[in-house]
Amino acid sequence: MMRTTTMGVKLDAEARERLKQLGTAKDRTPHWLMKKAILEYLEREEAYEREKQEDLQRWQQYQDTNEHLSQEEMKTRLKHLADRARMKAAG
């Protein structure tokens, strides 16, 4: 069972009214809209932070090893993968 807790969000009158109007238009409560907005924000920002950490790890690996691919090497590898995928799909 998930335990929940109440948190307060202070909004000005304009934001509260906008929430009410949008809730009415969507047949949702302002609470539902706020919860949905917060959860979507968390998902987006957590994904960004994960990607940022992966980028930092890749950069560190490059600095440690100096291993890299040129643009032409990458194009060749990607073309090879695409060709293999097409052959697999065709046959």
- How far apart CA 52 and CA 58 sit, in angstroms, is 10
Query: Could you report the per-residue pLDDT of 40-78, keeping only the tens digit for each?
Result: 999 999 999 999 999 999 999 999 999 888 899 999 999
Cβ 75 vs Cβ 83: under 8 Å:
no
Task: Provide the pLDDT for residue 1.
Answer: 82
Q: What are the residue ranges spanned by the domains of the chain?
A: 13-90
| Spatial CA neighbour of 20 closest among 30, 34, 9 | 30
Amino acid at 69: L
Average pLDDT, the chain: 95
Chain centroid to CA 87: 32
Please give the average per-residue pLDDT across 10-26, as a whole number: 97
What's the pTM?
0.67
Identify residue 26 by its one-letter amino acid code: K
Rounded to an integer, what distance in angstroms lies between the CA atom of residue 21 and that of residue 40? 20
